[in-house]
Structure 1
Amino acid sequence: MPFSGFDFIIPVLVVLVLLLLFAGIKTVPQGFNFTVERFGRYTKTLTPGLNLIVPFIDRVGAKMNMMEQVLDVPTQEVITRDNAIVAVDGVAFYQVLTAAEAAYQVSGLENAILNLTMTNIRSVMGSMDLDELLSNRDAINEKLLRIVDDAASPWGIKMTRVEIKDINPPANLVESMARQMMAERNKRAQILEAEGLKQAEILEAEGRREAAFRDAEARERAAEAEARATQVVSEAIAAGDVQAVNYFVAQKYTEALATIGSSSNNKIVLMPFEASSLIGSLGGIGSIAREVFGEGSTPQAPSNRVSSARPPRTGPSQE
Structure 2
Amino acid sequence: MGFSGFDIAILVLVFLVIILLFKGIRTVPQGYNYTVERFGRYTKTLTPGLNIINPIFERVGAKMNMMEQVLDVPTQEIITRDNAIVGVDGVAFYQVLNAAQAAYQVAGLQNAILNLTMTNIRTVMGSMDLDELLSNRDAINERLLRVVDEAAHPWGIKITRVEIKDINPPANLVESMGRQMMAERDKRAQILAAEGLKQSQILEAEGRREAAFRDAEARERSAEAEAKATQVVSEAIAKGDVQAINYFVAQKYTEALAKIGSSSNNKIVLMPFEASSLIGSLGGIGEIAREVFKGDGPSGTPRQGSRPPVVRQTDS
Normalising by the residue count of structure 1, what TM-score does the alignment of the two structures yield? 0.88
CA separation in 2, counterparts of 1:307 and 1:93? 118
CA separation in 1, counterparts of 2:257 and 2:29? 122
Aligned to 1:316: none
CA separation in 2, counterparts of 1:193 and 1:292? 69
Aligned to 1:158: 158
Q: Report the Cα offset of residue 303 of structure 1.
A: 6.8
Q: Residue 96 of structure 2 contacts residue 102 of structure 2 at CA under 8 Å; is this kept in 1?
A: yes
Aligned to 2:199: 199
How do 1:41-52 and structure 2 match up within 5 A?
41-52=41-52
Secondary structure of the corresponding residue to residue 82 of structure 1: coil
Matched, 1:297 2:302: yes
Alpha carbon RMSD of aligned pairs, Å?
A: 2.6
CA separation in 1, counterparts of 2:201 and 2:167? 47
How do 1:232-251 and structure 2 match up within 5 A?
232-251=232-251
Q: Report the Cα offset of residue 156 of structure 1.
A: 1.1
Q: Report the Cα offset of residue 147 of structure 1.
A: 0.9
Structure 2 gap ranges (5+): none
Q: Report the Cα offset of residue 122 of structure 1.
A: 0.2
Which deviates more, 252-261 or 284-293? 284-293
Runs of 4+ displaced beyond 6 Å: 303-308
Report how many residues are paired: 309
CA separation in 2, counterparts of 1:307 and 1:68? 122
Going from structure 1 to structure 2, the CA distance change for 1:289 and 1:137 (only over 3 Å counts) comes to farther
Going from structure 1 to structure 2, the CA distance change for 1:287 and 1:126 (only over 3 Å counts) comes to same
Aligned to 1:282: 283
Q: Residue 78 of structure 1 contacts residue 125 of structure 1 at CA under 8 Å; is this kept in 2?
A: yes
Secondary structure of the corresponding residue to residue 160 of structure 1: strand
Q: Residue 80 of structure 1 contacts residue 130 of structure 1 at CA under 8 Å; is this kept in 2?
A: yes
Percent of aligned pairs with the same amino acid? 75
**1:104-137 deviations in whole A, cap 9, x for unaligned?**
1111110000000000000000000111111111
Q: Report the Cα offset of residue 206 of structure 1.
A: 0.9
Matched, 1:16 2:16: yes
Going from structure 1 to structure 2, the CA distance change for 1:221 and 1:292 (only over 3 Å counts) comes to farther
CA separation in 1, counterparts of 2:222 and 2:183? 58
Matched, 1:145 2:150: no
CA separation in 2, counterparts of 1:6 and 1:120? 69
> Counterpart of 2:302 in structure 1: which amino acid?
S
Aligned to 1:212: 212
CA separation in 1, counterparts of 2:77 and 2:314? 120
Q: Residue 291 of structure 2 contacts residue 309 of structure 2 at CA under 8 Å; is this kept in 1?
A: no
> Counterpart of 1:282 in structure 2: which amino acid?
G
Going from structure 1 to structure 2, the CA distance change for 1:29 and 1:216 (only over 3 Å counts) comes to same
> Counterpart of 1:197 in structure 2: which amino acid?
L
Secondary structure of the corresponding residue to residue 21 of structure 2: helix
Q: Residue 275 of structure 1 contacts residue 306 of structure 1 at CA under 8 Å; is this kept in 2?
A: no
CA separation in 2, counterparts of 1:304 and 1:149? 114
Going from structure 1 to structure 2, the CA distance change for 1:285 and 1:37 (only over 3 Å counts) comes to same
Which deviates more, 214-223 or 76-85? 214-223
Q: Report the Cα offset of residue 75 of structure 1.
A: 0.3
Going from structure 1 to structure 2, the CA distance change for 1:302 and 1:215 (only over 3 Å counts) comes to closer
Secondary structure of the corresponding residue to residue 272 of structure 1: coil
Aligned to 1:317: none
Q: Residue 35 of structure 1 contacts residue 45 of structure 1 at CA under 8 Å; is this kept in 2?
A: yes
Structure 1 gap ranges (5+): 311-319
CA separation in 2, counterparts of 1:113 and 1:307? 123
Aligned to 1:66: 66
Going from structure 1 to structure 2, the CA distance change for 1:239 and 1:33 (only over 3 Å counts) comes to same
> Counterpart of 2:219 in structure 1: which amino acid?
R
Q: Report the Cα offset of residue 160 of structure 1.
A: 0.9
Which deviates more, 128-137 or 4-13? 4-13
> Counterpart of 1:149 in structure 2: which amino acid?
D
Normalising by the residue count of structure 2, what TM-score does the alignment of the two structures yield? 0.89
